Structure 1
Amino acid sequence: MATDYDAPRVTESDESTDTSLEQLTAGRKESQSPAVDVEDIDTAESFELPGADLSGEEFTVRVIPKQADEFTCTSCFLVHHRSRLADAQQLICRDCA
């Protein structure tokens, strides 16, 4: 089947140009939902504001002391395994070196 690419194309919107303003506004109102998404409201409550009073909160993270095969980087102050050591004299990790 041969196709004439120079011919003007006809789409559905071109065929239905005779719709009135009342029909368009009625269709728009039907497509909009007045319901509020409750999930968005619940997630907003989980965020803490800066400067909030956290005196009643308790830590839930278990702190493990530094092991014998670990070191503290003198640049970023993170605890790394000895395999990440870049400079033994200055105790700098590979990320900071």
Structure 2
Amino acid sequence: MATDYDNPRKTDDEPAQDSLPELQAHRADASSGSIDVDETDLAESLELPGADLSDEALSVRVIPPQADEFTCSRCFLVHHRSQRAPGRDDQHICLECAA
């Protein structure tokens, strides 16, 4: 059987029609001003920008540029040789920086 995915989906959880007083009562409850407070200590597990990370150690493997790559002399990014701007024999400049 083919399914038309453009049609709006109907679920049994949705009420068929609410009366106007019920909708107004629900709206008044939603805007009552009560604030839900989460009691978990989530703030202690978050890292803030500018936090002291002096005791952290990084382990990154650095790979040197390959034979088919070059470093742009303007943006200092490593690009494939197909990204080198033509006519720039004295400098290695990528197509983005040359534009």
TM range (shorter): 0.5 to 0.7
When residues 76 and 64 of structure 1 are mapped into structure 2, their CA distance, relative to the original with a 3 A threshold, is same
User: Secondary structure at 1:95's aligned position in 2?
Assistant: helix
Structure whose alpha-carbon radius of gyration is higher = 1
Gaps of 5+ in 1: 1-10
Gaps of 5+ in 2: 1-17
Aligned pairs (5 A) from 1:15-54: 16=21, 24=25, 28=29, 34=36, 36=38, 41=42, 45-50=45-50, 52-54=51-53
Size of the aligned set, in residue pairs, is 75
How far apart are residue 61 of structure 1 and its match?
A: 2.6
When residues 92 and 35 of structure 1 are mapped into structure 2, their CA distance, relative to the original with a 3 A threshold, is same
User: Secondary structure at 2:91's aligned position in 1?
Assistant: coil
Stretches of 4+ moved more than 4 A in 1?
A: 32-35
Please give the TM-score of this superposition, normalised by the length of structure 1.
0.53
The alignment's C-alpha RMSD in Å is: 3.8
How far apart are residue 66 of structure 1 and its match?
A: 1.4
Give 1 or 2: higher strand fraction: 1
Residues of 2 paired with 1:48 and 1:60: CA distance?
Answer: 21
Please give the TM-score of this superposition, normalised by the length of structure 2.
0.52
Give 1 or 2: higher helix fraction: 1
Percent identity, please. 42
Residues of 1 paired with 2:38 and 2:68: CA distance?
Answer: 54
When residues 88 and 48 of structure 1 are mapped into structure 2, their CA distance, relative to the original with a 3 A threshold, is farther
